[in-house]
């Protein structure tokens, strides 16, 4: 799946939306700049628009793009909001639609979809009030070691691992400082992997990536600091486990109604059982990001990957 510069690309205007106002703004800027460079290299007419600047909607409308490439991460970009803007403007855009984006951004609702689709996901407790929860009830449901997550943040922002009950109050308070709903999830010891899939009706799972963070878990620093984690692709796991992870990622993509691209994170426990953690509808596109790594193993350059996402957007 290799693409070369053509006259057709030169007749196509792509507006790359990047930046935004979320806690992941700097990462979104990096993703946007990388995508702009890749699409310009292939020959597209590219307009970069910072969605964190007042008047960006007017700028988008003025650009009259053939395709909007959404390179926004986190709230306002990955949760269906900017997808709604594109719908109102009648713009073709990359990635999932309004509903799928909103569902995948919400970790609680994502888990509900997983369970309805028969996909394994760790036990959890959802908290909606920082003052009304009981340590004993949480431990009974998820165990002493757990993972605390703000429900609507990405890139592991606000995430903590709790090793015993004494650490629970601070971790929950921290998560509530970033969101009004908090997920307390069972901690599963094992190998952390991720699987990206590409496609609309016909879906291609990319090779499984094994993630080995230098920190205790794959946190914000491990994701975006060079040397913060090691990406092993293809993952050094048995073939049957890799195939099962790919199958689960495709099923998650379909169950959530995703289009274009998604990336599902999983943990493989010591018995070889994969557990789904979350699905990202606008994964990072930076120098340290996972999807470009998997695409390279699949035989796709970064320019090929970006071009393919534009073509998938036009297909839908």
| Catalytic residue positions, numbered | 24, 155, 224, 263, 265, 278, 280, 284
216 three-class SS: coil
Q: How many helices (H) and strands (E) does the chain have?
A: 12, 13
- 30: closest CA among 5, 60, 58, 50? 50
Cβ contact 19:28 at 8 Å: yes
- 193: closest CA among 211, 177, 172, 170? 211
Q: Using CA atoms, how far apart are residues 195 and 199, in angstroms rounded to an integer? A: 13
Q: Using CA atoms, how far apart are residues 23 and 91, in angstroms rounded to an integer? A: 26
Neighbours of 189 (CB within 10 A): 8
- List the beta bridge partners of residue 195: 264
| Residue 291 CA: distances (Å) to CA of 65, 88, 209 | 25, 29, 9
Q: At which residue do the structure tokens 């507006």 appear?
A: 15
């Amino acid at each position: 799946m290799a693409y070369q510069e053509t006259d057709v690309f030169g007749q196509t205007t792509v507006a790359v939306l990047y930046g935004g106002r979320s806690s992941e703004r700097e990462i979104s800027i990096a993703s946007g700049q990388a995508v702009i460079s890749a699409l310009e290299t292939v020959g597209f007419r590219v307009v970069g628009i910072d969605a964190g600047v007042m008047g960006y909607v007017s700028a988008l409308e003025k650009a009259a793009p053939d395709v909007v490439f959404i390179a926004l991460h986190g709230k306002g970009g990955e949760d269906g909001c900017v997808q709604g803007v594109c719908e109102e403007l009648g713009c073709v855009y990359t990635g999932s639609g309004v509903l799928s984006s909103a569902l995948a951004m919400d970790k609680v609702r994502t888990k509900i979809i997983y369970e309805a689709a028969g996909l394994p996901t760790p036990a959890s407790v959802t908290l909606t009030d920082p003052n009304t929860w009981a340590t004993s009830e949480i431990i009974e449901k998820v165990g002493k070691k757990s993972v605390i997550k703000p429900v609507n943040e990405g890139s592991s922002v606000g995430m903590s691992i709790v090793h015993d009950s004494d650490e629970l109050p601070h971790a929950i308070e921290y998560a509530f400082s970033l969101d009004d709903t908090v997920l307390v999830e069972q901690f599963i010891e094992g190998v952390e992997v991720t699987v990206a899939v590409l496609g609309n009706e016909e879906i291609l799972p990319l090779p499984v990536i094994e993630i080995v963070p230098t920190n205790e878990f794959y946190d914000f620093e491990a994701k975006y600091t060079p040397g913060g984690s090691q990406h092993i692709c293809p993952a050094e796991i048995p073939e049957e486990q890799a195939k099962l992870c790919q199958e689960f990622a495709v099923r998650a993509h379909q169950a959530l109604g995703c289009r274009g691209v998604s990336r599902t994170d999983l943990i493989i426990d010591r018995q070889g059982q994969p557990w789904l953690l979350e699905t990202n509808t606008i994964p990072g596109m930076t120098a340290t990001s996972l999807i470009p790594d998997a695409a390279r193993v699949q035989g796709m350059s970064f320019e090929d990957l970006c071009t393919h996402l534009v073509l998938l957007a036009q297909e839908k």
